[in-house]
Amino acid sequence: MSDRLDHVTAVILAGGQGTRLRTVVADRQKVVAPVAGRPFLYRLLDQLAAAGLRRIVICTGYQARQVADTLGATYRHMELRYSVETEPLGTAGALRHALPLLDSDPILALNGDSFCETDLPALLAAHQPPATIVVREVPDTTQSGRVEFDGTGAVTSFIEKGKTTGTGWLSAGIYLLNREVLASIPAGRAVSIERETFPAWIGHGLRVFRTGGRFLDIGTPATYADAQRFFK
């Protein structure tokens, strides 16, 4: 795979409390819970390493020390740094808090509890400022919600889970964001990237990148069990 992403910094959101997963991994931060014999976050780091990235920032909160102790300061050829929240800041708030550590433009952001096979160099090549969301088509968006977009790839709306059914495109939890997007996030409070930040950028250059790669998350006991088979 091309190393064109060696100048891009990636940030992984890994601070959630994972309350739905407590029945199966009560003693672990879900992003380092074992999946097919390895901490789940290693799967994301392998994906980033294969794409040539060299600098990774991990946003932590709940069980922050456990995450840092598990991963350390380096992984393969990549430097790992940590942005620690003292209180929950939400997905966008965590990115805003980490901004001083993010030294590229654009920045690759990933949810730490999901995985999607994506051609990251192709994502970078297709990116148009200020923001690109990776989306994947699924047969039923009831549990995921959906992203709607026009023929040019411009996002037109987001529909929350439980309010839509049938085939549609879900957000795969991978975003390429220019610094102007992160700088627009209010600092010092909890902010949701899905419910606040992205809707505010509709009509201002928010676009999608479609992938057909496999997708999973580990947010529930059922999907965590699916992940064991996915990577085995």
Nearest CA to 57 among 77, 74, 82? 82
- β strands within 85-167, DSSP E: 107-111, 114-116, 131-138, 146-149, 155-159
Pairing of strands 131-138, 206-211: parallel
**161 catalytic residue (yes or no):** yes
Maximum Cα interatomic distance, the chain, rounded to a whole number of Å: 46
Element housing 215 (H / E): strand 215-217
Which of the following is catalytic: 30, 161, 163, 232?
161
The set of catalytic residues is 161
